Structure 1
Amino acid sequence: MHVRRTHRRALAAAFTAGATATVLAAGLGSSAFAATVFSDNFDDGNSSGWSKSGGTWSVVTDGSGVLQQTNRDSELARQFAGQTSWTDYQVQARVKPQSFTSSSSLVGLAARSSSSTRMYRLALLGSGRAELQAVNGSQITVIGSASTGAATGTWYTLRIETSGSTIRGFVNGTQVGSGSDSLVGAGRIGLVTAYASGSFDDVAVDSGGAGTPSTPPSTTAPPTNPPPTTAPPTNPPANWPTPTGSQKVDATVQVSGTFDGGLKRYYGIGDGGQSESQDPMFVLAAGATLRNVVIGAPAGDGVHCEGNCTLVNVWWEDVGEDAATFRGGSAYTVDGGGARSASDKVFQHNGSGTVTIRNFRVENAGKLYRACGNCSTSYQRHVVLDNITARDTDALAGINTNWGDTARFTRITILDDPGRDTRICVKYRGVAKGSEPTEIGEGADGVNCLYSSSDITYR
């Protein structure tokens, strides 16, 4: 008997500008930055929407909800949010150092993080100084610094402003550094510790709009089936491949360019469960391609695409949290491969633009695709599903019709489903952070869910 699963947890975080934007405007003084495009005060008790890299993080109560990193022996612990396409903006947060292990230990805030080790950082040091830094791996360039007497157990308000090549840092409203630097032109925000523990609260991003998404979502028309970037096979493969070998992964693999795994199995990140605090197995930079990879269990939070990306012949043997999350770009392609044992969903679409999934197998899953219904920024999102074979899967796609999402289906084959329990297109009403999307319907409508009976074959 086919048993339909229920939605188990909140999707990634979202926000409402409202009162938070008013408070920020009052506290930031005169600035060219006007629109609040992201905020999180952790009062909802979770860190949904943030991506962890290293450290031990949890939301705790310190007067109100705060995000805390407690592993003071971690060489570098980071949480990232936002989009890799963000350019000119200011990010502000309250930061409390809890402990330093040395004078060079730090607790701080990051802007324009183009990767986990490339960013601008405003750091409170164990020496009592604050430094505005350009970070490029192990190479640290100090743009400016000042003595602040930073003490453990005390809250400080940190702010970084980026405008073109001009980078400025402020502690409690006082500028501690300013200079011109061209290391990175765009990237996400981050919360950072190094050989220290600390707490973070009241994070907000304001922008004049250059390169930064805004709400409400856009109304751009979705593309029709995008042209393939590689020649697809005629049909999804009938069987899961036999890995050519196995390799345990102890830390997230950063991919730029093309990573070809030769159909080797990669495993070892996370605990195989649904926790959102798990690190991803692979993080793909904008424009990267991951191909010929078998992802075994545990696989943490699977694959993160930080910009446009291509996944070719990638197989997930046992999806834990999500198989892949599409974040900072506008066009993502999954060509070939398959996924199974996803208790919630396979592909999570948090960024804008279109996800194309073709020549793909899915088995024993909740949803093959879900457009985020309560992320930090509300986009109009689109998905194109072509030449899909599904077995024991509750739904192929979930979209938010109130934001103009669309899902287009062609050459869909549903196996072993005589009762036709697999739902093709499920419609939701997208909501702001702290709320849960509401299911409002399903089925083809010629507007959001685009398919006809001839597009779906049951066998």
Structure 2
Amino acid sequence: MLRQLLRRLSVAATAVVTALTGALAVLPPPAQAATVDTGAWYVLVNRHSGKALDLYDFAAADGAPIVQWARNDGNQQQWRFVSSGDGYYRLKSRHSGKVLDVYEWNAEGGAQIVQWADLNGWNQQFRLADSDGGHVRLINRHSGKALEAWEWATSDGARVSQWDDLNGANQQWRLVKLGSGDSGGGDGSGAWPSDTGSVHQTETREVGTFFDGGMKRYYGIGDGGQGESQDPMFVVANGGTIQNVIIDAPAGDGIHCEGSCTIRNVWWNDVGEDAATFKSPSSSARYLVEGGGAKSGSDKVFQHNGAGTVTIRDFQVHSSGKLYRACGNCSSSYQRHVVMDGVTARSTKVLAGINTNWGDTARFSRITVYGSATICEKYRGVPKGSEPEKIGSGADGVNCLYSSSDITYR
């Protein structure tokens, strides 16, 4: 009922404008359709809601829904325009590599918009139609309908759908260009986000199983240096998630994961002691760092003291020592594993340091290095109180697992 009323109001408003002007012919001709840089990544911000076109919950599967969400410039909100010719484009997700798709070739108003493997079908192609104020509408080639925030919603997670092109504010999108992209999709080298506010935090915050920081900047613990045994800013419970946080100096020992955890779209402006420490003694523990980035970790960024597997995906690291270190002299020795996929490193010395005598492994794919870096350093782990010995570096097919095609140097 609300939707029908809004549609009628839109039609009525058009009639009033026509009557007042005497004839539409006196209006100036529409501007030429907007052009895009097919080598850049964009965030698309809806004019009505102010929220960004978003791949829900960092999904990677075909059929995952497209929604709107508060802008955070994460890889799940970055899109590249791939030309299909004749003025049409596919919108490819930086996170998944998949494209916007009108599900099951539905031509009806209200059809679901999802992501799907890039097949270059007409249901995956959109042309840009100009609106005022620097906004555009995205018109699907198959249905002829416009991409919109469904039912004029303003909430996070609200669906994105298609409807007749009425040039409503909920059908208008601002294209925010973030920078040059590459053909692979999702190498973790996107723009660094701005904060939405700041929080001075002087005591560790126990966040339980879920915390969304709303892209605010958190700081205030420790001295900003590399001194050991500083308190963390956040402690995440086993199975928990922390997301959409910017951490600034002083930040103590960053984030502690007590068990399996997800760290999603978290950015460290200045790594103090460590950005995050993974602590579970369980070999089945799984830690996921997805999106985000870290700067100025002069010693190391991620410290793996417990057991299990750390996955670092679509992440960027700047001006740091080691991105990941499996502890070589902790009070308890474990077998540890790290997987890096879609990592970009700038002015960083080492991506991973592992202990081969304990059976540690490090796997790498879609790695981009600006300048030079050691991909995988090998150590001989020792008991607490001793200093681990560096014994080599490089791919070996056993502990350090990658090939030349997995690493791109620029």
Note the C-alpha offset of 1:258.
1.1
Structure (1/2) with the larger helix percentage: 2
Query: 2:318, 2:348 within 8 Å by CA — same for their partners in 1?
Result: yes
Could you tell me which residue of structure 2 aligns to residue 256 of structure 1? 208
Q: Aligned residue for 2:224?
A: 272
Between stretches 231-240 and 343-352, larger displacement belongs to 231-240
Tell me which residue corresponds to 1:447: 398
CA contact (8 A) 2:189 2:344 kept: no
Q: In 2, distance between residues paired with 1:430 and 1:298?
A: 30
Q: How is 1:403-422 mapped onto 2 (pairs within 5 angstroms)?
A: 403-415=358-370, 417=371, 420=372, 422=373
| CA distance, structure 1, for counterparts of residue 230 and residue 200 of structure 2 | 16
The reply to whether residue 359 of structure 1 matches residue 311 of structure 2 is no
Which amino acid is the alignment partner of residue 379 of structure 1? Answer: Y
For structure 1, list consecutive stretches of 5 or more residues without a partner in the other structure.
1-227
Q: Which amino acid aligns with 1:358?
A: R
The answer on 1:433 being equivalent to 2:384 is: yes
CA contact 2:354–2:379 (8 Å) conserved in 1 = yes
* Higher strand proportion (structure 1 or 2): 1
* Number of the residue aligned with 1:348: 303
Residue among 259, 269, 279 paired with 1:307: 259
Partner SS, residue 317 of structure 2: strand
**1:307-386 matches, cutoff 5 A:** 307-328=259-280, 329=282, 330-386=285-341
TM-score, length basis structure 2: 0.55
User: What is the rounded CA distance, in whole Å, between the counterparts of 1:454 and 1:261 in structure 2?
Assistant: 37
Counterparts of residues 5-24 of structure 1 (less than 5 Å): none
Q: Does 1:392 pair with 2:347? A: yes
Give the AA of the match of 2:347: D
Q: Cα offset for 1:277?
A: 2.9
Q: Tell me if the contact between 1:237 and 1:337 (Cα under 8 Å) persists in the aligned partners.
A: no
- Once residues 340 and 290 of structure 1 are traced to their aligned partners in structure 2, the CA distance between those partners, rounded to angstroms, is 19
Name the SS for the 1:280 alignment partner. Answer: coil
Higher relative contact order (Cα pairs below 8 Å, separated by 6+ residues): 1
- Cα deviations across residues 184-237 of structure 1 (Å, max 9, x unaligned)? xxxxxxxxxxxxxxxxxxxxxxxxxxxxxxxxxxxxxxxxxxxx9754624224
- TM-score, length-normalised on structure 1? 0.49
Q: Which structure is larger by alpha-carbon Rg, 1 or 2?
A: 2
The secondary structure found in structure 2 opposite 1:274 is coil
Alpha-carbon distance between aligned partners in 1 of 2:242 and 2:193, rounded to the nearest angstrom: 16
Matching residue of 1:54: none
* 4+ residue runs over 2 A deviation: 228-232
Task: Render the CA deviation track for 1:223-268: whole Å, top value 9, x for unaligned.
Answer: xxxxx97546242242210000000001100011210011100000
Q: Secondary structure at the match of 1:257?
A: strand
Identical-pair percentage:
69
Aligned Cα root-mean-square deviation (Å): 1.3
Q: Secondary structure at the match of 1:287?
A: strand
Matches for 1:31-46 after TM superposition, within 5 Å = none
